[in-house]
Each structure stands twice: as C-alpha cells, then as structure tokens.
C-alpha cells in the first residue's frame, strides 16, 4: 500500500479483520452493507476536520441491517481485549 502511513495500514487491517469476522457470522450480506460505509471515512478517521457526516454517510448507515451493525460494533469493541491490547479511550 504505497503512500500509506503505518497507522492507516493498521486501521485498514482492523477493518478487514472485523469484516472477516462478520462474514463468518452473517454470510456475505452484512459485509456488503458495511462496505457501503466507505463514504463515512472522512468523518471517522482520526484527525479529520469533518465533524458532521453528510447525507451519503447517513444514508449508508441507515441502510445497514440493525443486527449487522450491532454485531459489528460488538466484535470491534472486543478485539483489543482478545488480542491482549490494553486500550483506554478518552471522550
């Protein structure tokens, strides 16, 4: 991934790992829905100056099945502990 710094590569790897775990649970539908969230990247990448999501991002989020979204969030929040990574998040 030429031109990407280490933190962006790590973020991309984490996203792929979460997607792989969700595929194992929900088949291909949920990951396809989650892939549509790429339009939200400018609003969630650390250091972004975009504070409010645009209508494309909100529409993509609304189109995701609730079980898919909740499961993905649960998996993502468990990953640091399961990988023995002490993570403490601020606000």
Which residues have CB under 8 Å from 35's CB, separation 6+?
A: 19
> How many other β-carbons are positioned within 10 Å of the β-carbon of residue 43?
14
> How many other β-carbons are positioned within 10 Å of the β-carbon of residue 60?
18
Is residue 20 predicted with pLDDT exceeding 70? no
The per-residue pLDDT for range 49-91, each reduced to its tens digit, is 888 899 999 999 999 999 888 888 888 888 888 888 887 776 5
């Amino acid at each position: 991934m030429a031109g990407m710094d280490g933190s962006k590569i790590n973020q991309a790897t984490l996203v792929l790992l979460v997607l792989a775990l969700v595929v194992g649970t929900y088949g291909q539908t949920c990951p396809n829905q989650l892939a549509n969230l790429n339009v939200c990247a400018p609003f969630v990448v650390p250091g972004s100056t975009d504070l409010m999501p645009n209508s494309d991002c909100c529409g993509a989020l609304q189109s995701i099945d609730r079980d898919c979204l909740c499961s993905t969030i649960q998996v993502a929040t468990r990953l640091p502990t399961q990988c023995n990574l002490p993570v403490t998040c601020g606000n």
